[in-house]
Structure 1
Amino acid sequence: MAEQSRTGFPLAPQALPTAGNRSATGFPGMAARPQGTGETSRAAEEDTPRLPPANASGSPLWRPPSASGRKSSGDTWWERLRFEMSDALTSGALSERLVRASTAVEAPITTGRRIVVVGVSGGVGTTTVAALSAKLFGSIRQEPVMAIDATDESGRLLHYAGADKDALLSAAAVKLRSQPVRTLPDVVGSAAACGNQVFALGRPEVPAATNHPIGATEWTDLSAIFSRFVAVTVVDAGASPRSGQTTALLETAHAVIVVAPDTEFGTSRAAAVRAALSASHAGIPVVTVLTSINSPIGRAEDTAGLPFDRHLAAGGPIRLSHLGARTRIAATEIAGSALSAANGR
């Protein structure tokens, strides 16, 4: 019997390391990670400049690196200094929060978990939370992660996730449902690679006539396939919590993240959406995330908060190493809370 990892997924066969290249462990088909461990290794993989993909010509997803080459941090120098001082004065309490949240993200699972992200309205950060959560799962865990843009018409998940090519969900769905799927490459072959074992399927940024909404039967088949081969599937359901398509996505969800702005309108809408979900899908746990525009967030006991971050606000591909310190902690707590909920904890 194949050796099992602590998450329940089979480990890849071990190969003898060669000079300058160590084989990866984890789910079969995982690409080799850079040498080193922890944040240094992950940052090295994220910050390695990518060459334009072969199909980059005319692709709206490919954007050349900034001419200045400067790192756009999510924090100003004053915010970084204030964080370091606060962490020192509280004896590392903020750093301890990150450790606890990372432990929750690494929690063992038996089969792939499916987390659906839905917004109370457009422009509240739904896609940002979905892409950010997927990239954190891929960065911290040691198995493949799938990010899916299943919005009604068009979306930006591929762009935010840092996809290396166009990869349409509708085309992948036809292929996966019509051909045998036996290995991880069969699943991710049609998806875009986003680094750190994160793969993505999405909608075109400009709606196309050939791109149709996903149905309940179709999604049930796809979600079963994804759960067999990837540890976590994060689905961006867009800003239509009561649409027929979102209902189809919720049928197989293990947990739901409801995203709303940190305003009176946002909190009231989030409460209404939670009540509706409780009535229609009583068995699915819900995590509420309030996104802040320009101020530190005040959180209720059952609500997570994502503070304003200059890197996220820029609207480009998300680079975890560019996030502000408080944003990194908050985002990791959101991902950990969602996975804990999906695991029934």
Structure 2
Amino acid sequence: MPNGDGWQGDVLRDLRGGVQQGAQGPGGPAYGASTPGPGPAAQSAQAPDAAHGGGAPGQAGYPYQGQEQQAPAAYAPGPQSHNAPGSRPVVDKELDGVVRRKPQHGESFATRAARALRRILASSAAREVAGITRTAEVLQRPVTTGRQIAVTSIRGGSGKSTVAALLGTTYAHYRQDPVLVLEADPALGSLPVRLGVESLRWTASEIADIVKPDMSLLDVTGYLVQLPDNAWLLPASQGQIGVMLDSRAYERAVVALRRYFGVMVIDCETLPAEVARVALAAAHGRVLATPATPEGITSTYSVLQWMQGLPPHVIAGTVVVLTELVPHPGLDLDEAVQKLTSTGASVQVLPYDRHLAAGGPVHTELLAQPTREAVARLAADVFHLSQKRH
């Protein structure tokens, strides 16, 4: 295919240059391969220092690997650290009464009751358990270098941040090593809201100047927002209009943080933004969220055809997520999946879910059963592809 002009040509050049690094990620070798060795950071009874064991998950001494998970105590930056920014609420207090409401379940009570009855009367329960077991085995595979999974889209309103939040939550649930959800979309991104975060403080551009090689995991997570299980969030901004995250700050943040986390889920800007192109070039796995609409299918197919002109592993490591935004989209999903899969990409469908469609924080216990199963399959598919190349 022709290289094309405009943003496609830029992406082509960035990917062809960046993918030579492979798992190295932006700015250097992957996951601390040539990162200066940590210094004598203070020991903690809650979390072993990253200095013991080289900082790679799956190796002896990696922070939290194979140990009981404990929430790290708040880390107070010393006098030599940067001035701490003030905490800022994710949702303005004047809007609390408007946006905070009781969340509803992803599917109706009648639907849940019917599914429970079918499970009792049919033999599908054993097959369901077997499928969940296989998915869990993939999600729990050990890694020797941290996986970077970039989530992006080619148009707004595709559910990109929702997919990133669901992936981060899923990996944190199944895995023992630390998980970081990094927001690389500072333009009023919805990721903190979807993750149920109350307030924000440190941002990605600030962390890039703070994290040093001799810091322990306990030190680092003191600058992050703790999420349920063994996960943390690093926002791109505090929600201010006009805040930017340039590619250099993003690269420095990822290089500084990647040695501490087994999986990093990166919520990127919509293509063709610069940071999104940098993140895609360095990622081990790529997720392209698109609405399950005729327009979404058409534009995604064009992008996948263009990606076929890139090195083969780029499209082979890409998963397209078709998000159903309405209950009955009037689209032949089977035919759409078959057409998109013919390009060499993997395709997953995120079914319509009342809980997700309502917006606000995602409560996994309120997701419909088909949604939970689809998210687990998606997470396993992306994780499997991220390991195949390496």
Aligned partner (choices 100, 110, 121) of residue 78 of structure 1: 110
Aligned partner (choices 151, 158, 180) of residue 117 of structure 1: 151
Moved more, 109-118 or 292-301: 292-301
* CA contact 1:155–1:205 (8 Å) conserved in 2: no
Q: 1:279 to 1:136 in 2, by over 3 A?
A: same
Q: How does 1:103-114 map to 2 (within 5 A)?
A: 103-114=137-148
Residue 168 (str. 1) matches residue 218 (str. 2) = no
Higher Rg: 2
Q: 1:12 to 1:169 in 2, by over 3 A?
A: closer
Q: 1:203 is matched by which residue type in structure 2?
A: A
Q: Which residue of 2 is the match for residue 230 of structure 1?
A: 261
Q: Which residue of 2 is the match for residue 320 of structure 1?
A: 364
Q: 1:304 is matched by which residue type in structure 2?
A: Q
Q: 1:86 to 1:109 in 2, by over 3 A?
A: farther
Q: Which residue of 2 is the match for residue 255 of structure 1?
A: 285
Percent of residue pairs bearing the same amino acid type: 23
> 2 CA distance for matches of 1:86 and 1:114?
39
Aligned partner (choices 122, 125, 128) of residue 94 of structure 1: 128
Secondary structure of the structure 1 residue equivalent to 2:144: coil
Aligned partner (choices 200, 220, 223) of residue 187 of structure 1: 220
* CA contact 2:90–2:238 (8 Å) conserved in 1: no
> 2 CA distance for matches of 1:112 and 1:142?
13
Residue 157 (str. 1) matches residue 191 (str. 2) = yes
> 2 CA distance for matches of 1:245 and 1:91?
45
Q: 1:58 to 1:186 in 2, by over 3 A?
A: closer
Q: 1:122 to 1:9 in 2, by over 3 A?
A: farther
Q: Which residue of 2 is the match for residue 135 of structure 1?
A: 169
Q: Which residue of 1 is the match for residue 373 of structure 2?
A: 329
TM-score normalized with structure 2 length: 0.69
> 2 CA distance for matches of 1:328 and 1:212?
34
> 1 CA distance for matches of 2:189 and 2:380?
25
Q: 1:190 to 1:174 in 2, by over 3 A?
A: same
Aligned partner (choices 326, 338, 342) of residue 382 of structure 2: 338
* CA contact 1:156–1:205 (8 Å) conserved in 2: no
Residue 304 (str. 1) matches residue 348 (str. 2) = yes
> 1 CA distance for matches of 2:60 and 2:89?
40
> 2 CA distance for matches of 1:113 and 1:87?
36
| CA deviations over 1:170-217 (Å, ceiling 9, x no partner) | 2222323xx4443112332221111111111123464444x32221x4
Number of equivalent positions: 307
* CA contact 1:74–1:312 (8 Å) conserved in 2: yes
Superposed displacement of residue 28, structure 1: 7.7
Q: How does 1:212-227 map to 2 (within 5 A)?
A: 212-215=244-247, 217-227=248-258
| CA deviations over 1:102-127 (Å, ceiling 9, x no partner) | 22211221111000001121011000
TM-score normalized with structure 1 length: 0.77
Q: 1:189 to 1:61 in 2, by over 3 A?
A: farther
Secondary structure of the structure 2 residue equivalent to 1:185: helix
Secondary structure of the structure 2 residue equivalent to 1:335: helix
Secondary structure of the structure 2 residue equivalent to 1:190: coil
* CA contact 1:102–1:333 (8 Å) conserved in 2: no
> 1 CA distance for matches of 2:96 and 2:222?
24
> 2 CA distance for matches of 1:224 and 1:183?
15
> 1 CA distance for matches of 2:234 and 2:321?
23
* CA contact 1:146–1:234 (8 Å) conserved in 2: yes
Superposed displacement of residue 282, structure 1: 4.2
**Structure 1 unaligned residues grouped into runs of 5+:** 14-24, 34-54
Aligned partner (choices 56, 70, 78) of residue 31 of structure 1: 70
